[in-house]
Amino acid sequence: MNGNKFQRKIGKWYTFLALIVVMGVLLSGCGTQKPKVYRVGILSGLGFVADITDGFKAGMAELGYVEGENITYDVQTTEFDMAVYQSILNKFVADKVDLIVVFPTEASVEAKIATQGTDIPVVFTFALIEGMGLVDSVREPGGNITGVRYPGPDIAVKRFEILREMLPEAKRIWIPYQRDYPIVASQLEVLYPVAEAAGVTLIEFPASSPAELEAELAARAQQDDVGMDAIMFIVEPLAVTPDDYVVIGKFAYEHKIPLGGAFMSVGGYDSIYGVNVKSYDTGLLAAPLADKIFKGTPAGTIPVVSAENFVQFHFTAAQRLGVTIPEGLLSQADEIVR
């Protein structure tokens, strides 16, 4: 009898312990934290390179960030409008997003200003850093910012060198650009000595609207000599904004003036060549930087990375404008449109 009682007691203890184990498992399951969902605000500030957003999202997906599961994106787009840049960025800050991804240069500068005094990190891309106060240095950007450098001055010189090789007789190069655009000065600073050494005169024309371009070019068209041998675009938004570009392209084709620098095709007016970076790829390059930030690395300690040049030629456009592209240049091309 005593043995039976003892066995019953042992049985009750086993049952009790089993219940404790089951409850522990259930409670531990209830207490499991859901994976963090990162909220990313993306300011796409220039339509010409809007596919940066696609590149960034693709890069994040490759790193395991699945949209709607562990990451969400608030993508805001505009077209070179400082007031709109500021409004979008202020909204991101008010929403306390986990990261701001921003492009191009002037929007990136505004993002740095908007996030001062907050702990919101910024990853810029397609941004020129020289002379912009955007980072302390490439290796130590400082603050709460890092990103993908746009090699603007290098690209400006490369655009000039290609134009000169195609058109060695061109001595007057017209350079239109957005008035007061912040990254123009650093490009002109490196271009002028190169042009002087080559015996070339650079003719600057700052403008802020298609109407200003039309007035200037209409005046030139009334003269016996339009005063330019070629048109070269530096890195800025005017030449890659469709309405502005059409005005320039129409004039160039009517007067058989070669144009290039940025690779554009609007309204049947094609530029001959372009030197740039692949905007989609700069988005891809930004993704690993964001991943490091999400894993705990302070943004300001992550070195800035640089995008590589991408050279394009439009063979048919060159023929239409009476330009022969040397085989040596064609061999350097990443893409040739025929």
Domain membership flag for residue 8: no
On whether both 119 and 208 belong to a single domain, the answer is no
On whether both 45 and 111 belong to a single domain, the answer is yes
Cα angle 184, 185, 191; round to 5: 90
Measured CA to CA, the distance from residue 210 to residue 247 in angstroms comes to: 7
Domain membership flag for residue 117: yes
pLDDT at position 6 is: 46
33 HSE (CA, 13 A, CB side): 4
Domain membership flag for residue 55: yes
On whether both 267 and 257 belong to a single domain, the answer is yes
How many C-beta atoms lie closer than 10 Å to residue 164's C-beta? 18
Bridge partners of 73, per DSSP, are 40
**What total number of domains does the chain contain?**
2
How far is residue 135 CA from its own chain's centroid? Answer: 16
Domain residue limits at 286: 38-150+279-307
On whether both 107 and 245 belong to a single domain, the answer is no
pLDDT at position 22 is: 46
pTM confidence score: 0.79
Domain membership flag for residue 28: no
What does DSSP assign to residue 296? T
SS3 content of the chain, % helix, strand, coil (to 5): 45, 20, 35
On whether both 172 and 261 belong to a single domain, the answer is yes
pLDDT at position 25 is: 45
Report residue 94: phi and psi, to 5°: -65, -35
On whether both 212 and 330 belong to a single domain, the answer is yes
- Whose tokens are 């693709």? That residue is 58
pLDDT tens series, the chain, 338 aa = 455 554 555 555 555 555 555 455 445 545 556 789 999 999 999 999 999 999 999 999 999 999 999 999 999 999 989 999 999 999 999 999 999 999 999 999 999 999 999 999 999 999 999 889 999 999 999 999 999 999 989 999 999 999 999 999 999 999 999 999 889 999 999 999 999 999 999 999 999 999 999 999 999 999 999 999 999 999 999 999 999 999 999 999 999 999 999 999 999 999 999 999 999 999 999 999 999 999 999 999 999 999 889 999 999 999 999 999 999 999 999 999 99
pLDDT at position 130 is: 85
On whether both 107 and 159 belong to a single domain, the answer is no
Domain membership flag for residue 12: no
CATH at 123: 3.40.50.2300
* Inter-residue contact 286 to 108 (CB < 8 Å): no
* Inter-residue contact 302 to 146 (CB < 8 Å): yes
Measured CA to CA, the distance from residue 175 to residue 144 in angstroms comes to: 36
Q: Tell me whether strands 273-277 and 309-314 are parallel, antiparallel or unpaired.
A: antiparallel
On whether both 162 and 77 belong to a single domain, the answer is no
CA distances from 77 to 66, 87, 153 (A): 22, 12, 26
